[in-house]
Copies of this chain bind each other. A is one copy, B any other.
């Protein structure tokens, strides 16, 4: 990360060459271009980031005040009162919102917001105990801590207390705030806490596998800012603690009893599949990628590689959602991807973005960015309504009026008591600029197609890259490359898997038919020959000021077919155009969608609708639908126009049916004989 050295200077922490070396030695093979270096001007994303800044973040701070989350810190400072909220990890909503607000400040400078954050940071600092311990649920009244906290520090960390979870979010927040503002007030609170954690946990000291991972990622971030080896070694220590606890019953099928819920069922070196609570899991896997990259631990690398392969080939919904099982918000078995009860927690999509970004920085392969893009354009942004203040905690794959057993949330809600998802979105959205570009010496990677400019330093030469496109609706991408003066370097443009007839980089989903269209690339209007490397088109030339690169991606509507082991999707197709996965919603389809058939021959028309759902490309076709006349016990099939909208945009117009996977042919029907029951929401 380019900021490391100045940061270390500012932080005044880079004391010995050995530490400096350790930092140098142990950075990622590829460097992400920091969010502070990228200015967005994008029609698709900027309005969302603006809504996040104007609505979500203020509403989140307001809620932290109204629900006494802030008061908890004030009471901890005063060492008096009674913990005023429900969960000990409620502290993290403040950290996560500060993190989001910090990223947001570099998009939209806001003096008032910045000083409000400083006030909050002061309150956080006052709640910190002299030795660095920071956990209001205990500090308020150590003699009578929250039930989950146990009687002494760390006592219940494995299963309940979330003390290290709070620390992890504190670190994430502190680094974002420091990088966005250069201020050290929150960073110093975090470092003081991290020094306590490192002094408390480690070989010959206290040991635990943190019940809810994230402290590992957080410690790595502190390490990358400060270069202090203890932070990295303690992160690795926590990761290696998994599978050490002997109190589980390996024979039990219960995820809590066998430890897999916490990814604590075996050593991470023996873990080869994505299991347990998806958010915890993907935070762990992110940290494993961090530690594998920064320590060169090949065994840990092998584990996280096979876990990723397991996830992407057997446990990923077509929308990029992960964590199929509501009970435990966790990964199911291989190919266990039911539509009716899909959980797909929004937080898991946030975690999946973190994880895949790290996998890319490790390996430099576009397949990780392909998965990240699938998550970003589908299963992640579905988590928040167009209003910016209603949220999905679980992201459904199907809503049916006739559902009589549990199904996922049919409409977005406000903040739950456990408001993990809103504040996770609040911190992810404004960090998006940090995911667009990456660099490795003379290789400049373009990962996401988001309008705006970035100023890079290639071979000590300033280079500005400007993107202009109408992605994801249009596949014509334009990049203007402007080195201060002519410069030799490679521009690596990601050619998305879907543009190369891969629905995802696995056999989990495939396109029903290969695209006849090919990707075309021109520079300054002339066809540009290029080689492919790990999914990137490598454009190698002496770049001159304002060279224009034009990339055309095939954008026809494609039918997606699932691996036949996914029971629920057998005989069905999903619709995808560019990176966007579509769904049919009741509102556009005469009130129903579970009655729609999409025969193999169906052809779709795509048309952009500026006034629909803040501007979307809509798909339409004429298809058979089944009509039931209950009064007369009669059923018939009629032709009707199917209108499909981007999956992310559903549930902004009231509650009703939604379908992602459509039957190609009806082989039979099950008669439904009861009146529609009140839907049972999975969460």
Known: A635-B635, A635-B636, A636-B635. A630 touches B666 (CB 8 A): yes
A572 CB contacts on chain B under 8 angstroms: 673
What is the CA–CA distance of A672 and B664 in the complex, to the nearest angstrom? 10
Contacts of A630 in B (CB 8 A): 665-668
Residue of B nearest to A634 (CB): B637
Q: A319 near B: Cβ within 8 Å?
A: no
Is the CB of A671 closer than 8 A to any CB of chain B? yes
Do A671 and B626 touch across chains, with their CB atoms under 8 A apart? Answer: yes
Check A402–B636 contact: CB distance below 8 A: no
Distance in angstroms between the alpha carbons of A223 and B571 in the assembled complex: 64
Q: Is A117 an interface residue (CB 8 A)?
A: no
Checking B401, B595, B668 against A402 with a beta-carbon cut-off of 8 angstroms, the contacting residue is: B668
- A663 CB, nearest partner CB in chain B, Å: 4
Asked if B663 contacts A667 (CB within 8 A), the reply is no
Q: Shortest distance in angstroms between A325's beta carbon and chain B's nearest beta carbon?
A: 16
Let me know if A676 is at the binding interface, CB within 8 A.
Answer: yes
Nearest opposing residue in chain B for A403, CB measure: B670
In the complex, chain B residues whose CB is within 8 Å of the CB of A402 = 667-670
In A624-683, the 8 Å CB interface with B consists of 624, 626, 628, 630, 633-637, 663-676
- A487 CB within 8 Å of chain B: no
Is B634 a contact partner of A674 (Cβ separation < 8 A)? Answer: no
Q: Are B673 and A628 in contact (CB under 8 A)?
A: no
Docked-complex contact B672 and A567, CB < 8 angstroms? no
Could you tell me which residues of chain A, from 582 to 628, have a CB within 8 Å of some CB in chain B? 594-595, 597, 599, 624, 626, 628
A199 contacts the other chain (Cβ, under 8 Å)? no
Residues of chain B with a CB closer than 8 A to A634's CB: 624, 637
Partner of A628, one of B404, B666, B674: B666
A669 surroundings in chain B (CB, below 8 A): 402, 595, 626, 628, 635, 669-672
A8 CB–B CB distance under 8 Å: no
A570 located at the interface, meaning its Cβ lies under 8 Å from any Cβ of chain B in the complex = yes
Min CB distance A250 to B, Å, is 14
B637 touches A668 (CB 8 A): no
Q: What separation, in Å, do the CA atoms of A673 and B662 have in the docked complex?
A: 9
Indicate if the CB atoms of A670 and B673 lie closer than 8 Å. Answer: no
Taken residue by residue from 398 to 411, chain A's Cβ proximity to chain B (1 for < 8 Å, 0 otherwise) reads as 00111010000000
Q: How far is the CA of A676 from the CA of B669 in the complex (A)?
A: 11
Within 8 A of B (CB), among A220-239: none
Given B401, B668, B673, which contacts A664 in the complex, CB threshold below 8 Å?
Answer: B673
Given A597-B633, A635-B636, A636-B636, residue A672 in contact with residue B676 (CB < 8 A): no
The docked-state distance in angstroms from the alpha carbon of A636 to that of B629 is 11
Q: In the bound complex, how far is the Cα of B676 from the Cα of A669, in angstroms?
A: 11
Quote the shortest CB–CB distance from A248 to chain B (angstroms).
Answer: 14
Q: Is the CB of B628 within 8 A of A633?
A: no
- Would A667 and B628 count as touching, CB distance under 8 A? yes
0/1 string, A542-559, CB within 8 A of B gives 1: 000000000000000000
In the assembled complex, the Cα of A573 lies from the Cα of B38 at a distance in Å of 67
Given contacts A570-B674, A670-B402, A673-B571, contact A624 B633 (CB under 8 A): yes
Cβ of A247 to closest chain B Cβ, rounded Å: 14
Rounded to whole angstroms, the CA-CA distance of A402 and B599 in the bound complex is 20
Q: How far is the CA of A404 from the CA of B667 in the complex (A)?
A: 13
A674 touching B667, Cβ below 8 Å: yes
Query: Which of A404, A626, A664, A666 is the most central at the interface, judged by chain B CB atoms within 10 Å of its CB?
Result: A666
| Chain B residues whose CB sits within 8 angstroms of the CB of A675 once the complex forms | 571, 667
User: Which residues of A, 379-427, contact B by the 8 Å Cβ criterion?
Assistant: 400-402, 404
Cβ B567 vs Cβ A599 within 8 A? no
Q: What residue in chain B is nearest A573 (Cβ atoms)?
A: B673
Closest Cβ neighbor of A637 among chain B residues = B634
Contact B671 A676 (CB under 8 A): no
Give Cα distance in the complex from A635 to B633, angstroms. 13
Select which of B633, B667, B673 is within 8 A of A673 by beta carbon: B667
Report yes or no: A671 in contact with B570, Cβ–Cβ below 8 A.
no
Point out the residues of chain B lying under 8 angstroms from A628, CB to CB.
666-669
Q: How far is the CB of A253 from chain B (nearest CB, A)?
A: 8
Query: Would you call B668 and A633 a contact (CB within 8 A)?
Result: no
A414 to chain B, nearest CB (A): 31
Question: Are the C-beta atoms of A671 and B597 separated by less than 8 Å?
Answer: yes
Among B404, B594, B670, point to the contact of A672 (Cβ < 8 A). Answer: B670
User: Nearest chain-B residue to A572 (Cβ)?
Assistant: B673
Contacts of A636 in B (CB 8 A): 635-637
Interfacial chain B residues near A663, Cβ < 8 Å:
671, 673
| B672 adjacent to A633 (CB under 8 Å) | no
Once bound together, how far apart are the Cα atoms of A401 and B672, in whole Å?
A: 16
B633 & A599 in contact (Cβ 8 Å cutoff): yes
Q: What chain B residues lie within 8 Å of A637 (beta carbons)?
A: 633-636
Which of B567, B665, B666 is close to A404, meaning CB atoms less than 8 Å apart?
B567
Specify the chain B residue showing the minimal Cβ separation from A663. B673
Report yes or no: A673 in contact with B570, Cβ–Cβ below 8 A: yes
Q: Give Cα distance in the complex from A262 to B558, angstroms.
A: 55
Roughly how many angstroms separate A670 CA and B628 CA in the complex, as a whole number?
A: 11
Which chain B residue lies CB-closest to A631?
B665
**Contacts A/B (CB < 8 Å), 6 sampled:** A402-B669, A572-B673, A599-B633, A633-B665, A636-B636, A665-B673
| Interface contacts beyond A624-B633, A634-B637: sample of 14 additional A-B pairs, CB < 8 Å, sorted by A | A402-B668, A402-B670, A404-B567, A594-B670, A595-B671, A597-B633, A597-B671, A626-B671, A628-B667, A628-B669, A664-B673, A667-B676, A669-B671, A670-B670
Which 6 residue pairs are nearest across A and B when measured between Cβ atoms?
Answer: A571-B673, A663-B673, A668-B672, A670-B670, A570-B674, A669-B669
